[in-house]
Amino acid sequence: MAHRLRLALVAASKDVTAVHEFFIDLTHIVNAVNASFKRHDQLEVVEAARIARLVAGEEIATGTGVNQMSTLQRAGDTRWSSHLNSISSVIRLYESSYKVLEDIKKDGYTAKNKGDARVALKMSSYEFIFILLLLNDIFGTTDTLCRAMQHKSQDIVNAMSLVKITKMVLNKMRDEGWDFFLAKVNKFCKEYGITVPDFSAPHFEGRPCRQVDTITNEHHYHFDIFNAALDVQIEELRARFEEKIVELLKLSSSLDPSNGYKAFDANAICSLAEKYYPLDFSEKEIDRLAFQLRIFHGAALAHPTLVNLLSVAERCHGLAESGKSKDFDLVDRLIRLVLTLPVSTASGERAFSAMKLAKTKLRNKMGDDFLADGLIIYIERDIVDTFSLDDILSDFIDIKERRVRLR
């Protein structure tokens, strides 16, 4: 769920045309700087000289573990936090990376080298810096939420609270953060000698004579990029965490047995069954469930198999092993229904462990959906073992006529 959320937020940001073009340029820049060991070594030499200069001028602190060498990181759909890390690495190594590209431009003897160096022009544009710092702020803000979703022991109530807070922070940034952010961008540009455009001047894309509607640079950066990028993030969070979904997850957390059944709430559990599983529980069963829960809480705390559980899934196993599933049949039924909710982080962890089995060349080309399909055989092995190769081949042949004879 955490990784899918990250990918969804990145994909949403690309709905803004300027941001989509930025990611294309970002990929070109990272690939150009990391194209060979020679360029990588050159980046390290330039960065070491920069750090030495800053240390000599007492502009940065020294000590164990600080100012360590690093390189530009690639963004990929199959790596945790890779988009934020890639953006952060460009900000951190901006001066050194730009110098490497400039040296390639000066010393390049081939058309390819000169072509790689042209990305330095993109890198030194105001719009690139503007979007670079904007996405760093946005993805940095959503990173806390994504990391919370990644925890193996999921605290749903805390995670849903973080969703609400994250949306509030992004909304506040959109409504009140323009002046502060613009000052930060202009400061960065001034530090590295990048020309800041006149915000009252008309903004043109392509040939000015072909543009009918004229807007100012301020309108372009403020509304077409800044507001638009934040709007798609806020809307994505709102769509993925609707009020009904948030309520469902919060009510489901009442069944969590960790910390001595601290989250146990009989009223919330009854509301969960009544509101979200009306076809699975009759009105009479809802009433009986309320009475079962009164006894269940005390029985669970007193039974050695049920008292030290960490998850709802463990509670389900515990009920079966202890034989309590017969005594508390309605509680057991509700737990089994809740376990169908696709919020388990354990499956995500197994998926990323299984990625090591996929070839690197293919893995780097995989999108989120294709990755999930490709790894399902490693995640749900119990189900996959029930399928035979002949059955799979027959289904494949039945889809459409094949040029190659498969049998």
Question: What pLDDT shows up at residue 216?
Answer: 94
Alpha helices in 206-342 (DSSP H): 217-219, 228-240, 243-252, 258-261, 266-276, 283-302, 304-307, 312-322, 324-327, 329-338
Which residue bears the tokens 């459409």? 400
Distance, in Å, from the CA atom of 14 to the CA atom of 224, rounded to the nearest integer, reads 13
74 contacts 52 by C-beta, under 8 angstroms: no
- Percentage of the chain lying above the pLDDT 70 cut: 80
Q: Which residues of 274-294 are buried (b: 16+ CB within 10 A; e: fewer)?
A: bebeeeebeeebbeebbebbe
Q: b/e per residue, 47-85, with b = 16+ CB within 10 A?
A: beebbeeeeeeeeeeeeeeebeeebbbbbebbbebbbbb
User: At 381, which amino acid appears?
Assistant: R
Nearest to 305 by CA among 320, 326, 327, 289: 320
Mean pLDDT of 237-246: 81
Q: Please say if the pLDDT value at position 209 is more than 80.
A: no
Q: Nearest to residue 132, comparing CAs of 190, 101, 87?
A: 87
| Each residue's pLDDT tens digit, 305-323 | 888 887 778 888 888 888 8
Looking at residue 349, its pLDDT comes to 46
| Residue 121, pLDDT score | 78
Please tell me whether residue 28 adopts helix, strand or coil conformation: helix
Residue 90 reports pLDDT greater than 90: yes
Name the pTM for this structure.
0.71
Confidence of residue 189 (pLDDT cuts 50, 70, 90): very high
Which of 279 and 105 is assigned the larger pLDDT? 279
Supply φ then ψ for residue 398, to 5 degrees: -70, -20
In a 3-state reduction of DSSP, which class is residue 122? helix
